[in-house]
Amino acid sequence: MDVFEAKEWSPDVLEKVSQTFKALGDPTRIRILTLLAKEECAVNQIAESLQLSQSAVSHQLKTLRAYRFVRYRREGQNMLYSCDDEQIIGLLNEAYRYASSGS
C-alpha cells in the first residue's frame, strides 16, 4: 500500500516508522548496516573497516540489535554480526537514491 493510499496511520504504525527513522538517524549506524549487508563481521573487523573504536562499534551494535536490524552468532570467542532485516537495507537503498539524485 502506498503511504498516500492509507486514510490514516494507526498510532502503532506511526510510532514504528518514527522509531525506524530514529534508529537510522545516525551516520555510524548507517555505515555499520551497509557493511553488514555485504558480509558478516566481528566487532574488531567493523571497527577496523570503518576506522572506529571497538567501543563505539559495540555501542552502535547494541542499538541496532535492540531494533532487530542486526543479529549475531558466536564463533569461538568472537561474536559475528550480520544484517537481520532486508527491508531496512531496501529502505537505506531508497534513501541513498533519494539523497544522491540531487532532489
pLDDT of 40-84, one tens digit each?
Answer: 999 999 999 999 999 999 999 999 999 999 999 999 999 999 999
Say what the pLDDT of residue 8 is: 82
Phi, psi of 77 (to 5 degrees): -90, -5
Say what the pLDDT of residue 2 is: 63
Local confidence band at 10 (pLDDT 50, 70, 90 cut-offs): confident
**85: how many CB neighbours lie within 10 A of its CB?**
17
pTM listed for this prediction: 0.87
Q: Please give the single-letter amino acid code of residue 3.
A: V
pLDDT, mean over the chain: 92
Q: Which parts of 6-87 are beta strand (E)?
A: 41-42, 70-75, 78-83
